[in-house]
């Protein structure tokens, strides 16, 4: 009888744990769709508001304030409100931003809404990553978690390309994307009403406050450089995702359907790479996996720059990028003291989201000056920077 009760209790715990994991996976699908859909819709936005590659980057810049707030508040908010309530605020902000994108007739209001989008994505990214890596039973799912981001990122341009091809307006596409994210809002409300404990608990990892932990974490060069590495990484990932369709369809005169689906192939490469991450971590280790990924990334970027066919370079770039972010997050608990892990993960992931605004903005300004054809070449310097930071982190594991 006791054995039966023990097994029943284990089944309940397993079922309960997978509720939180399902929420986490869907949250990453949602932010993937929200971020990646923009790349295909960018030319339509340029046309509607009569913008240039430089002025449209105001949309990226506006996200910075939201990312900054998320970078320095995620661990503080989760410690006070609990993860579920923080995620509900984030998902509501993200849904609101997408609705404003879809409905606003004024470019200035769309730009302001970018702040909400940055805040929502930054808080979701930091909160979910911390939730996964802190639970030893779920830490091995970090690759799968980021693979679900890849699924969302694949679906974003695929849905956008298909809907545009059948005559749907870009604003209506954003309504579809907003409806997908709103499902996350409903799920989180249910979690809160049912008082699902794994996500309701407040983050308290030490006797010190979350503010003190964040201040201590920022004194570690490994934390700062991890944040910089992920900033450059996400900036590269977002730049390729945001500008590849415009480069192919406008600068290289690739048919729009092929251009759109080649962006989907880029995200599919990333998704496949992330689903294979667990195997790579077991066989090669995180450090070697990142090193090989950076080498492959350099090859893929050179191929995209020199070869006009997008089916070669873009999927290769996506596959190469796949392991870098989750493997770097996976290494954080090995590089900083345990009480500082939530603050370190929150800072690193939110700094990464910050890169999603900075790098594509810089690329847009340079492309406005030198032409869209320069964009593939501009992706090589960030890759070199990532290689340098990675080498430093390997040599200084905890300092």
> Which stretches in the chain have pLDDT values below 70?
1-17, 71, 134-140, 197-211, 397-399
Question: In this structure, are residues 31 and 152 in contact, taking their beta carbons and an 8 Å threshold?
Answer: yes
Nearest to 314 by CA among 362, 252, 363: 252
Give the pLDDT confidence score for residue 213 in this predicted structure. 72
* 381 Rama sector, left if φ>0, alpha if ψ -120 to 50, beta otherwise: alpha
Q: Domain of 96?
A: 2-395
For 113, how many CA atoms within 13 A lie in the half-sphere containing its CB? 18
pLDDT at 351: 79
Question: 255, exposed or middle or buried, with CB in 10 Å at 0-12, 13-18, 19+?
Answer: exposed
How high is the pLDDT of residue 200? Answer: 61
pLDDT at 216: 78
Give the list of residues 6+ apart from residue 338 with CB closer than 8 angstroms, or none: 205
Per-residue tokens: 305: 């720059």
Residue 45 neighbours by CB under 8 Å, 6+ apart: 51, 56, 59, 170
The answer to whether 230 and 351 are in contact (CB under 8 A) is: yes
Cβ–Cβ < 8 Å for 54, 365: yes
For the record, the structure tokens of 344 come out as: 């370190």
Nearest to 345 by CA among 35, 64, 30, 83: 83
CA distances from 313 to 88, 275, 318 (A): 38, 20, 9
Backbone conformation region of residue 285, classed left if phi is above 0, alpha if psi is from -120 to 50, else beta: left
CATH of the domain at 260: 1.20.1250.20
Cα 241 to the center of its chain, rounded Å:
11
Helix (H/G/I), strand (E/B), else coil: 255: coil
Tell me how far apart the alpha carbons of residues 2 and 62 are, in angstroms, rounded to a whole number: 58
Between CA 163 and CA 114, with CA 93 as vertex, the angle to 5 degrees is 70
Is-contact 196 16, C-beta < 8 A? yes
Q: What is the DSSP string of 273-328?
A: HHHTHHHHHHHH-HHHHHHHHHHHHHHHHHHHHH-S-HHHHHHHHHHHHTTHHHHH
User: What would the two tokens of residue 91 be?
Assistant: 């998902």
CB 163 within 8 A of CB 149: no
Can you give the pLDDT at residue 112? 94
Quickly count: other Cβ atoms within 10 Å of residue 1's Cβ.
5
Q: How many domains does the chain have?
A: 1
pLDDT of residue 199: 65
Q: Helix, strand, coil shares of the chain as percentages rounded to 5?
A: 85, 0, 15
Tokens of residue 53, six digits: 């590659």
Burial 154-167 (b: 16+ CB within 10 A, else e): bbbbbbbbbbbeee
Query: Shortest CA distance to 87 belongs to which of 26, 16, 150?
Result: 26
Cβ-contact 181, 95 below 8 angstroms: yes
Quick one: pLDDT at residue 67? 76
Report pLDDT for 74. Answer: 74
Q: Dmax over Cα atoms in the chain, in whole Å? A: 75
Which residues are CB-neighbours of 176 under 8 A, at least 6 positions away? 159, 163
Nearest to 74 by CA among 357, 340, 349, 358: 349
């Amino acid at each position: 009888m006791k054995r039966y009760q023990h097994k029943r209790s284990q089944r309940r715990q397993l079922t309960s744990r997978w509720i939180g994991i399902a929420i986490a996976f869907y949250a990453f699908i949602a932010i993937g769709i929200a971020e990646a859909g923009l790349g295909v819709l960018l030319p339509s936005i340029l046309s509607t508001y009569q913008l240039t590659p430089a002025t449209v980057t105001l949309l990226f810049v506006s996200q910075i304030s939201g990312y900054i707030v998320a970078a320095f508040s995620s661990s503080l908010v989760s410690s006070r409100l609990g993860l579920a309530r923080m995620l509900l605020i984030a998902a509501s902000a993200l849904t609101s931003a997408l609705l404003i994108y879809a409905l606003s007739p004024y470019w200035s209001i769309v730009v302001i809404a970018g702040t909400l989008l940055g805040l929502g994505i930054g808080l979701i990214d930091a909160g979910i990553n911390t939730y996964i890596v802190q639970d030893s039973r779920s830490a091995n799912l970090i690759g799968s978690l980021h693979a679900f981001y890849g699924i969302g990122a694949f679906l974003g341009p695929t849905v956008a390309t298909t809907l545009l091809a059948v005559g749907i307006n870009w604003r209506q596409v954003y309504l579809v994307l907003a409806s997908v994210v709103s499902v996350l809002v409903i799920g989180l409300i249910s979690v809160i009403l049912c008082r699902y404990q794994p996500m309701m608990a407040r983050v308290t990892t030490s006797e010190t406050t979350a503010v003190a932990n964040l201040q201590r974490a920022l004194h570690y060069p490994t934390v700062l450089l991890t944040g910089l590495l992920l900033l450059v990484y996400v900036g590269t990932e977002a730049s390729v995702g945001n500008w590849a369709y415009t480069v192919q369809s406008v600068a290289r005169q690739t048919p729009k359907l092929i251009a759109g689906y080649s962006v989907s192939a880029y995200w599919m490469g990333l998704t496949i790479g992330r689903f294979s991450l667990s195997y790579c971590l077991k066989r090669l280790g995180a450090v070697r996996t990142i090193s090989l990924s950076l080498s492959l990334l350099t090859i893929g970027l050179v191929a995209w720059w020199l070869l006009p066919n997008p089916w070669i370079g873009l999927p290769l770039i996506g596959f190469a990028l796949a392991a870098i972010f989750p493997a770097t997050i996976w290494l954080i608990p090995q590089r900083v003291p345990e009480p500082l892990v939530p603050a370190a993960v929150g800072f690193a992931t939110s700094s990464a989201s910050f890169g999603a605004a900075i790098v594509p903005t810089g690329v847009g300004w340079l492309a406005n000056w030198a032409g869209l054809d320069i964009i593939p070449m501009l992706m090589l310097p960030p890759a070199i920077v990532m290689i340098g930071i990675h080498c430093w982190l390997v040599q200084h594991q905890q300092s």
